[in-house]
Amino acid sequence: QIAAEVFTTRGGAGPLQGLKVVVTAGPTREKIDPVRFISNRSSGKMGYAVAEAAREAGAHVVLVSGPVQIPTPRGVERVDVESAEQMLSAVQSNVVGADIFIAAAAVSDYRCREIACEKIKKTSDTLNLALARAPDVLATVSRGEHKPFLVGFAAETEHVERNALTKLINKNLDMIAANKVGDGLAFDKDDNALTVYWQDGKRELSLTSKAALARQLVELIAERYRARGQT
Amino acid sequence: QIAAEVFTTRGGAGPLQGLKVVVTAGPTREKIDPVRFISNRSSGKMGYAVAEAAREAGAHVVLVSGPVQIPTPRGVERVDVESAEQMLSAVQSNVVGADIFIAAAAVSDYRCREIACEKIKKTSDTLNLALARAPDVLATVSRGEHKPFLVGFAAETEHVERNALTKLINKNLDMIAANKVGDGLAFDKDDNALTVYWQDGKRELSLTSKAALARQLVELIAERYRARGQT
């Protein structure tokens, strides 16, 4: 009983045994007013599958999640957030002591410059929403003092490889998992395919269920994480 | 068996027996680009409960639904849409021959004036989103040739009664169900309270489950619908 409890909270055998992994998942929402918001099509399925796979691989997993309708994977510690700013803050408190940070959330790039306290009435025919950059969670962790092994995601509608490699270098990541998105691709689907890039390598993970894909990705992360430790 | 099938699709005994009711539910999403959108906090729970209650009251129910994670109530015909424009179009084709239209969806008031074909890159520190008015589904049906008995909803953060009565008159509705929303109120909750207004009356439906509230509301709608028929 006690052993099972320890297993549940501390992680068990597997390639990530003894490691603390922080995963983000889902979209974020940036308020326009108390009722309206800007968000994106991320379903959170990929991030949740990665959190579950990391847990199965023996890690202690903290899942920082935007608003999604998915049950928490067994043995995973979940922190719910809404905005990019809240996600950054939750990640910063949980990334301390973490070995690996996997940023699968689709964090809003822009937030509203002013949030209306009351619901905006539709009095005018047009409206201009002034947006400012939202905090970049992954880049902020990358610039931080205790930088874990960093895995990013790039969901792109085109120029997938170029955009992914730019992100890998600019944000100083250890790995990036890229996929093409758009009408009928990836979002809200149960299947996905990824191309994973790192400093001097690349691997294609072909179309399969997000659960199977997540296990392959986690295996690859464990492999690269250990390789980094050895150089 | 056949009787049960007929019951399921045509409606059975109850105060709305033999009537066709169109219900809208959930939020709509207005695309910014292939990945991002503007939406609102409507969970769709109230609209789905109303559709179910109308079905139980014997009506043939068509439910035009924005993106939500709720199973379709048994015996209800469901049409899925995303944007305000799509909702209008689905409502217009289904409202023909309908006796009652219950507009419980939180339709976006504004849509993006231009939708980007590619995912917008976060190259600039600020961004201006130019919005234009989205089609007003309820007002359009109200101005239409075959106007059914019209029931609107008003979710307001303040001045609830004033805003609800303005909407009742401006959109030429038969009834409006108003509630206060905001942090911790109504949205995504399983409980709700409503104040229902019509030309010369008002009724308070106090805090209870959305399922119970929907049954009370449907009873009141049936009562007012018959009262209108008699004058």
Q: Which residues contact A49 (CB under 8 A, 6 or more apart)?
A: A210, A211, A213, A214
Question: Beta strand pairing status for B30-31 and B36-40?
Answer: antiparallel
**Does B170 contact chain A (CB < 8 Å)?**
no
Give the gap in angstroms from C-alpha B176 to the nearest C-alpha of chain A. 18
User: Per-residue pLDDT tens for A18-30?
Assistant: 999 999 999 999 9
pLDDT > 80? residue A231: no
Structure tokens at A166: 């730019």
Q: How many beta-carbon pairs below 8 A join chains A and B?
A: 95
pLDDT > 70? residue A5: no
**Does B71 contact chain A (CB < 8 Å)?**
no
Outline where A57-159 has alpha helix (H). 84-94, 137-143
**What CA dihedral angle connects A49, A51, A63 and B182, to 10 degrees?**
10
Confidence (pLDDT) at A1 = 44
Q: Which of A158, A124, A184, A83 is nearest to B116 (CA)?
A: A158
pLDDT by residue, tens only, chain B of 231 residues: 444 444 455 556 899 999 999 999 999 999 998 889 999 989 999 999 999 999 999 999 999 999 998 999 999 999 999 999 999 999 999 999 999 999 999 999 899 887 776 777 777 888 888 889 999 999 999 999 889 999 999 988 788 899 999 999 999 999 999 987 765 665 667 888 999 999 999 999 999 999 999 999 999 999 999 998 665
Which 3 state secondary structure label does DSSP give B142? helix
Contact flag A40-B37 (C-beta cutoff 8 Å): yes
pLDDT > 70? residue A41: yes
Q: Sheet containing B110-112: give its strands across.
A: A110-112, A126-133, B126-133, B110-112
Over residues A122-136, the mean pLDDT reads: 86
From chain A, pick out residues whose CB is under 8 angstroms from the CB of B125. 132-133
The model's confidence at residue A178, banded by pLDDT at 50, 70 and 90, is: very high
Contact flag A131-B131 (C-beta cutoff 8 Å): no
Q: Is B40 a catalytic residue?
A: yes
**Does A179 contact chain B (CB < 8 Å)?**
no
Q: Which of B149, B205, B202 is nearest to B173 (CA)?
A: B149
The H or E element containing residue B8 is helix B2-10
Is the CA virtual torsion B177, B180, B181, B187 positive or negative?
A: negative
Contact flag A110-B127 (C-beta cutoff 8 Å): yes
Contact flag B37-A39 (C-beta cutoff 8 Å): yes
- Chain B interface, best mutation among A113, A127, A133, A170, by max B CB count within 10 A: A127
pLDDT > 70? residue A4: no
The number of CA neighbours under 13 Å toward the Cβ of A118 is 9
Of A113, A128, A158, the CB nearest to B118: A158
From chain A, pick out residues whose CB is under 8 angstroms from the CB of B132. 125-126
Highest mean pLDDT among A72-81, A131-140, B5-14: A72-81
Confidence (pLDDT) at B139 = 95
From chain A, pick out residues whose CB is under 8 angstroms from the CB of B129. 128-129, 131
Give the start-end residues of each E strand in chain B. 20-25, 30-31, 36-40, 60-65, 77-80, 100-103, 110-112, 126-133, 149-156, 175-180, 191-198, 201-209
Confidence (pLDDT) at B13 = 81
Confidence (pLDDT) at B34 = 84
Q: Which of B187, B184, B188, B193 is nearest to B213 (CA)?
A: B193
DSSP calls for B153-181 = EEEESS-HHHHHHHHHHHTT-SEEEEEE-
User: Per-residue pLDDT tens for A138-166?
Assistant: 999 999 988 999 999 998 878 889 999 99
pTM value is 0.84
The model's confidence at residue A182, banded by pLDDT at 50, 70 and 90, is: low
**Does B126 contact chain A (CB < 8 Å)?**
yes
Q: What is the spatial distance between Cα B157 and Cα B45, in angstroms, rounded to a whole number?
A: 19
DSSP calls for A49-74 = HHHHHHHHTT-EEEEEE-S---PPPT
Is residue A63 within 8 A of residue A87, CB to CB? The reply is no
Q: Which residues contact B113 (CB under 8 A, 6 or more apart)?
A: A126, B130, B131, B132
Chain A residues 103-122 with CB within 8 Å of chain B: 106, 108-110, 113, 118-120, 122
Q: What is the spatial distance between Cα A205 and Cα A216, in angstroms, rounded to a whole number?
A: 7
Average pLDDT, chain A: 89
- Within 10 angstroms of residue B24's Cβ, the number of other Cβ atoms is 32
The model's confidence at residue A6, banded by pLDDT at 50, 70 and 90, is: very low
Per DSSP, A191 falls in state E
Contact flag B38-A37 (C-beta cutoff 8 Å): yes
Q: Which residues contact B116 (CB under 8 A, 6 or more apart)?
A: B32, B33, B34
- Chain B interface, best mutation among A30, A33, A36, A123, by max B CB count within 10 A: A36
The model's confidence at residue A127, banded by pLDDT at 50, 70 and 90, is: confident
Is residue A118 within 8 A of residue B163, CB to CB? The reply is no
